[in-house]
């Protein structure tokens, strides 16, 4: 049948994933860092994703497409809620909370264990409405900081929800994604760890812009780590 359906221009897509989170039917997913319409029959043609796209990569087109299948969409969304990994293999669609008995974890050099309590950790992949964000102490980490600072899990990740990224390598402005997370959830506090190198200023700028846009008062602090693994500044 011929009907109205979304069209994604991959050349314009910057991989921000906002459209993926805005699509209530699960019709859009990330493939090789770009948003893609995964199934025609999941798209209802209403276009909730359009206004979220910052680059104008999404539009409507009239073409031959499978009829919208509401029952298939319901089954797909149930799978997501149950934490099943979808065929697309996207880490963001396999969001889950990790339960650990922190009191029984020994963090000696011979027996260090992970303190991570959720998945995924990449800023670009984390679903903005994931339940673990509710009332969370949020850690936003420039990814190099976890490698430079030896006790990163025990000193920073413990008791926090962790998001990592590198604005230089990802070539994306994180401020919109961080704004959505802060705006749509009750965040108790935010800690940002960054390296002393200038390019890490991008992730600090993104957090400040997101907080400013949200209009919320959330206690925050910034920890700067040297390239040889020392904490050199706390703001």
Q: What is the pLDDT of residues 138-151, one digit of tens each?
A: 999 999 999 999 99
Q: Does 65 score more than 50 pLDDT? A: yes
Tokens for 28? 């859009």
Between strands 187-195 and 161-165, the pairing is unpaired
What pLDDT is recorded for position 46? 87
Q: What is the pLDDT of residues 68-112, one digit of tens each?
A: 998 888 887 776 665 544 444 554 445 666 676 656 555 544 567
Whole-model pTM over 0.85: no
What pLDDT is recorded for position 229? 94
What is the residue extent of each domain of the chain?
A: 2-89, 96-234
Q: Is CATH 1.20.1560.10 correct for 2-89?
A: no
| Dihedral pair phi/psi, residue 172, rounded to 5° | -145, 150
SS3 sequence, 161-185? Answer: EEEEECHHHHCCCCHHHHHHHHHHC
Give the residue-averaged pLDDT of 126-147. 93
Class for domain 96-234, per CATH? Answer: alpha beta
DSSP 63-125: EE-PPP-HHHHHHHHHHHHTTPPPTT--GGGG-EE----GGG---STTS------EE--BTTT
What pLDDT is recorded for position 86? 44
């Amino acid at each position: 049948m011929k009907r109205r359906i979304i069209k994604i221009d991959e050349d314009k897509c910057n991989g921000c994933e906002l459209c993926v989170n805005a699509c209530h039917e699960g019709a859009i997913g990330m493939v090789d860092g770009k948003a893609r319409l995964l199934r025609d029959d999941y798209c209802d043609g209403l276009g909730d994703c359009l206004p979220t796209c910052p680059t104008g990569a999404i539009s409507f087109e009239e073409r031959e497409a499978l009829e919208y299948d509401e029952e298939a969409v319901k089954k797909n969304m149930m799978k997501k809620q149950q934490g099943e990994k979808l065929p697309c293999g996207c880490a963001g669609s396999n969001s889950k909370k990790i339960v650990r008995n922190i009191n029984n974890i020994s963090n000696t050099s011979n027996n260090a264990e992970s303190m991570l309590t959720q998945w995924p950790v990449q800023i670009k992949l984390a679903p903005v409405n994931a339940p673990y964000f509710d009332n969370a102490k949020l850690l936003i980490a420039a990814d190099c900081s976890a490698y430079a600072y030896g006790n990163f899990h025990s000193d920073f990740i413990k008791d926090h929800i962790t998001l990592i990224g590198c604005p230089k390598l990802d070539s994306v402005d994180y401020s919109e994604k961080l704004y959505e997370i802060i705006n749509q959830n009750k965040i108790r506090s935010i800690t940002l760890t960054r390296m002393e190198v200038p390019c890490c200023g991008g992730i600090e700028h993104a957090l400040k812009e997101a907080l400013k846009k949200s209009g919320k008062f959330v206690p925050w602090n910034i920890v700067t780590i040297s390239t040889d693994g020392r904490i050199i500044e706390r703001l």
